[in-house]
Chain A
């Protein structure tokens, strides 16, 4: 049998326990409360936008658009639904860029959006509605271009948009109104010489391109180059100035606009990597509107207004206007 401990010991133990509890309680009033550290929010997960679905669409006629109307009809005689809607509304809604210097950019002093693309849009409004001011600009990013057309939030997109086979699956293009090519913007050489950097020279470097553009897709296909996406080209310039990108790739015209904003950058003298034919974007169903605009564009190119517009915006940085791109027509209607 287990020997019982003497009674006294147990009562003494109880007393000791009681005293300890009492002391602990007394102390708890005196010592301060300690607070847990304020937690930091979980870092926002920067989801890299998935590469556009669908395999690249191959075709040989990306620059081919619908036949232009034989001549510009009187607005009152047009019966096409989409165009009638524009005429009744009294203004043309155009999706544009507000920060592509020289093509579509807001002048901070006047608050007006100006540039080559803007003048082309105004020319269409002039023809359709009789006044170059009957146009409303909606600022969109490159990634918005297809969506705003599909949802018919705008009648037309004039935002340095390259005509590609894949985009023809979703929208319609006018004939080519500007011919550009993809180049590289890099830091200026201290000696002042213009470097002839190519994309191959940039292995292991970070190169920026806007989201949702054909440029970014091409960039991602180059092995060894880290593609850095930004909302638009000006966003790329911000990243470049912050040291978060080593070079920017984009159409030479856009890069010229960026170089004009930062004297420490220069467009590489290496030849353009790609051909970038620019077209105005439309909803896929607006074939009549496309044909109408193709007529306007053909007239602009023929009567010298295209050259005048080019010289107004681009001659200073790119030299005098070349011959306007020749529109390719004859695309079969869907």
Chain B
């Protein structure tokens, strides 16, 4: 049994004039030709729109990839600067209240950089604002604890040591997890923008439109028994050219972007990871000594950092200089551990804090400086390359749009010619 649903009744009189007019236009073979003309024009416009849109989307994605890369760099800088500040604070603690002006200035610079970058990051990516707000709170707590450790330390009170341990612990349990989330979220965003730069999927819509146009041309040829319609054919050729231009523009952006993604961008990310782990290792070295024989878990953390760094150094191209610089520091660190395990704690502290040739300070600084320079260069280059990708493609997008308009006009002209001939 079928349920018959009465269609809603059309109110008589409304749109009757329009309907009659349309009916008149579509009546008979010329009517069908007109209809086919409309389909052809729509297909041409669809092709033009899709191609223009795809090129613009690619370009926009490249720009967003550049912006997100910049944000990744910012978040990684926060990560490094926090650990660097902690490495400096813990190392200075080993010399009691006698922190050098230089190390104090470096600590201040690292913390200032964190605060500035948090503000810049929140302005650049609204989606990060909440997380950065939480981070700012943790950073403030950390800085306050370090200051309290410092002032108690200057008074020679053991509670200073506890404040410092609390500071380092709070940094690693509260602030660093937020930074890690921020880095990961932005890496994810940059990665998906890298993928979006290849928006050639939209071009299939254009190909579909092209097929429709060819079918219309075939139908027209059959109806009129005239094989080539010069106007119509020229329109189709123009559209093919437009589609080709769009696809090669997109291909160019996509290829260049994926080259950046696997090249300088990857390199910048790897080098940032190395620098982060290196500064964490340096803090762990000091914490091991501060715990005085009870710091085995910090030495285990140092060894984990070392493994991370060596693995990342293997991934980074052209880093033999870096690997040997790290090796130098690692050897100096091993010496400290040897001396400390041998019970000569004071000598181990001397090695860890002296800024002279002996000890870990000089090789660590040399390594840190090299990594920083190389990472800055890589991230700058990645952002520059991504920024320059869009440049010419706007012109191509506009051209493709214009071409589709011209092609539409040619199609209208071609179909119009045939209708005239038919009469």
Contact = CB atoms under 8 A, between A and B. Distances in A.
Interface of A: 1-3, 5, 8, 11, 15, 18-19, 22, 25-26, 28-30, 32-41, 44, 91, 98-101, 105-109, 111, 113, 136-141, 144, 231-232, 234-235, 237-238, 241, 257-258, 261-262
Given A38-B182, A40-B181, A98 B7 contact: no
Chain B interface size, under 10 / 10 to 19 / 20 to 34 / 35 or more: 35 or more
Nearest to B193: A33
B53 A234 contact: no
B158 A19 contact: no
A35 B7 contact: no
Nearest to A15: B42
A268 B166 CA distance: 27
B382 interface: no
A237 B148 CA distance: 12
Given A35-B189, A138-B294, A234 B158 contact: yes
B2 A29 contact: no
Residue of A34, A91, A261 with highest tally of chain B CB at under 10 A:
A261
A262 B42 CA distance: 83
B14 to A, nearest CB: 15
Nearest to A39: B181
B157 to A, nearest CB: 4
Contacts of A37: 127-131
A108 B177 contact: no
Contacts of A41: 177-178, 180-181
15 contacts: A3-B7, A18-B46, A22-B46, A32-B64, A33-B193, A35-B125, A37-B127, A39-B185, A40-B134, A100-B158, A136-B293, A234-B161, A235-B166, A258-B159, A261-B159
Nearest to A93: B293
B4 interface: yes
B160 interface: yes
Contacts of A257: 158
Contact of A139 (B38, B129, B166, B294): B294
Interface of B: 2, 4-5, 7, 22-23, 26, 35, 38, 42, 45-46, 49-50, 52-54, 56-57, 60, 64, 94, 96-98, 125, 127-131, 134, 148, 152-153, 156-163, 165-166, 173-174, 177-178, 180-182, 185-186, 189, 193, 196, 202, 205, 291-295, 343, 346, 349
B361 to A, nearest CB: 17
Given A41-B178, A101-B158, A261-B158, A25 B294 contact: no
Nearest to B202: A25
A105 B158 contact: yes
B185 A38 contact: yes
A29 B127 contact: no
Contacts of A99: 158-159, 161-162
Given A91-B343, A108-B156, A232-B162, A38 B131 contact: yes
Contact of B53 (A25, A32, A44, A232): A25
Nearest to B22: A8
A44 B175 CA distance: 12
A34 B42 CA distance: 31
B168 to A, nearest CB: 13
A30 B56 contact: yes
